[in-house]
């Protein structure tokens, strides 16, 4: 069996591929009842099969395949040509029209099994699977790179958000500390005002006692007074003197107590307002804990008053030396790390 010339096969194939199925309807020529509009969709379906066979691979096909392509294309075109040459003046046009439409509808089932292997071979030759595989790998790698970039951006944004949150918390803590310092300022102002009043009272009592002391040594009982009268006179002067001295001593202690409380509350106010600067100057958590411990001790530990003197069991010099040691270690550690 000789193979048909490739030119003839190509002509038959192109004739089907380039066929305009819209010409089959012929509604204006045949009218609505005899038009072939129902044959347009099955025709397009069959033409789509022939279009999947590129003419560039015909020289690679076997003799049997070329014969099958030409046979199926010519047979199908002959049916289309019968539809185009259909006339309503022929005998029994209705059944003839119906028969042609049924033949076109059934043609797909006979064409598909024949053309399917040829179409598969054509796809394998026209599609570069290696190129598709390379493009697919490149696309996957691009997606992975993009995902890593997005992950890095998310991590950076997360780090920035954590830093911003830490700054907000630190600012809120500093503002809270500064706001709490006004309580000690109010107490210091109150004791300062009271100490000024008791200072004036102390000075007044000192002047009164000094005047009375002068009178005490100048004022003497009568020379003819009896012993009982002299004892009574001296005891009265001594009672008044010690009463005035007690009042002077009490006023002085109250003045000292208020002045002492004023100084203590000023110190606590300053500690609250400045300890954050010491914390920021340190690096190690141990040094920061020491600063916080001493700031809390300065604020909340009981202080001596002017009324009672108690010995402190702790040695402040040792605590200060320990704090300085931690501060120097933290600062020097920060310098080494920089």
Q: What's residue 48's pLDDT?
A: 92
Which residues, 6 or more positions from 32, have their beta carbon under 8 angstroms from its beta carbon?
A: none
Q: What's residue 219's pLDDT?
A: 67
* Torsion of the alpha carbons at 261, 262, 267 and 273, rounded to the nearest 10: 130
Question: What's the gap between Cα 314 and its chain centre?
Answer: 48
Tell me phi and psi for residue 315, to 5 degrees: -95, 110
The fraction of the chain above a pLDDT of 90, given in percent, is 9
Q: Is the pTM of this model over 0.85?
A: no
- Least confident piece of the model among 86-90, 105-109, 123-127, 142-146: 123-127
Give whichever of 25-29, 164-168, 222-226, 269-273 has the largest mean pLDDT: 25-29
Which CA distances in Å does 180 have to 168, 259, 331?
Answer: 18, 22, 28
- Beta-carbon-side half-sphere exposure of residue 131 (alpha carbons within 13 Å): 5
Domain ranges across the chain = 6-127, 176-337
Using alpha carbons, select from 17, 44, 108 the residue that is nearest to residue 36: 44
**Owner of token pair 């100084």:** 263
Report how far residue 148's alpha carbon sits from residue 73's, in angstroms, rounded to the nearest whole number: 54
Length of the chain: 338
Helix axes 316-337, 285-300, angle to 10 degrees: 150
For the beta carbon of residue 240, count every other beta carbon within 10 angstroms: 14
Burial label, 10 (beta-carbon count in 10 A; 0-12, 13-18, 19+): middle
The pLDDT confidence band at residue 313, using thresholds 50, 70 and 90, is: very low
Which residues, 6 or more positions from 157, have their beta carbon under 8 angstroms from its beta carbon?
A: none
Using alpha carbons, select from 246, 240, 257 the residue that is nearest to residue 206: 246
Write out pLDDT tens, residues 128-177. Answer: 555 666 677 778 888 888 888 888 888 888 888 888 877 666 665 555 55
**Owner of token pair 């006179």:** 233
The pLDDT confidence band at residue 60, using thresholds 50, 70 and 90, is: confident
Write out pLDDT tens, residues 195-211. Answer: 888 889 899 989 998 88
CB 230 within 8 A of CB 181: no
Using alpha carbons, select from 269, 280, 273 the residue that is nearest to residue 167: 280
For the beta carbon of residue 149, count every other beta carbon within 10 angstroms: 10
The fraction of the chain above a pLDDT of 70, given in percent, is 74
Q: Over 50: is that where the pLDDT of 334 sits?
A: no
Report how far residue 255's alpha carbon sits from residue 196's, in angstroms, rounded to the nearest whole number: 8
**DSSP letter at 88?**
T
Report how far residue 177's alpha carbon sits from residue 189's, in angstroms, rounded to the nearest whole number: 19
Write out pLDDT tens, residues 229-250. Answer: 778 777 887 888 889 889 988 8
């Amino acid at each position: 069996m000789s193979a048909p010339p490739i030119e003839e096969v190509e002509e038959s194939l192109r004739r089907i591929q380039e066929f305009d199925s819209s010409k089959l309807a012929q509604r204006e020529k045949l009218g609505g009842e005899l038009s072939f509009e129902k044959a347009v969709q099955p025709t397009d379906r069959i033409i789509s099969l022939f279009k999947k066979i590129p003419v560039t691979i015909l020289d690679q096909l076997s003799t049997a395949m070329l014969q099958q392509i030409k046979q199926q294309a010519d047979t199908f075109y002959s049916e289309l040509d019968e539809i185009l040459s259909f006339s309503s003046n022929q005998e029994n046009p209705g059944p003839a029209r119906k028969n042609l439409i049924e033949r076109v509808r059934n043609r797909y089932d006979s064409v598909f099994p024949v053309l399917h292997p040829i179409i598969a071979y054509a796809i394998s030759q026209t599609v570069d699977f290696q190129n598709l595989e390379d493009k697919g790998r490149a696309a996957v790698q691009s997606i992975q790179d993009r995902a890593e970039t997005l992950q890095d951006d998310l991590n950076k944004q997360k780090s920035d958000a954590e830093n911003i949150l830490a700054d907000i918390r630190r600012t809120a803590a500093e503002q809270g500390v500064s706001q709490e310092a006004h309580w000690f300022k109010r107490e210091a102002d109150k004791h300062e005002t009271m100490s000024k009043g008791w200072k004036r009272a102390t000075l007044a009592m000192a002047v009164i006692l000094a005047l009375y002391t002068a009178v005490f040594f100048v004022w003497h009982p009568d020379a003819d007074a009896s012993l009982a009268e002299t004892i009574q006179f001296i005891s009265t002067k001594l009672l008044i003197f010690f009463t005035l001295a007690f009042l002077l001593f009490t006023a002085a202690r109250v003045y000292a107590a208020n002045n002492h409380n004023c100084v203590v509350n000023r110190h606590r106010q300053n500690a609250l307002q400045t300890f954050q600067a010491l914390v920021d100057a340190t690096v190690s958590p141990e040094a920061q804990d020491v600063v916080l411990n001493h700031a809390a001790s300065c604020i909340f530990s009981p202080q001596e008053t002017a009324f009672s003197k108690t010995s402190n069991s702790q040695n402040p010099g040792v605590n200060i030396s320990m704090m300085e040691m931690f501060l120097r270690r933290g600062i020097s550690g920060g310098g080494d790390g920089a």
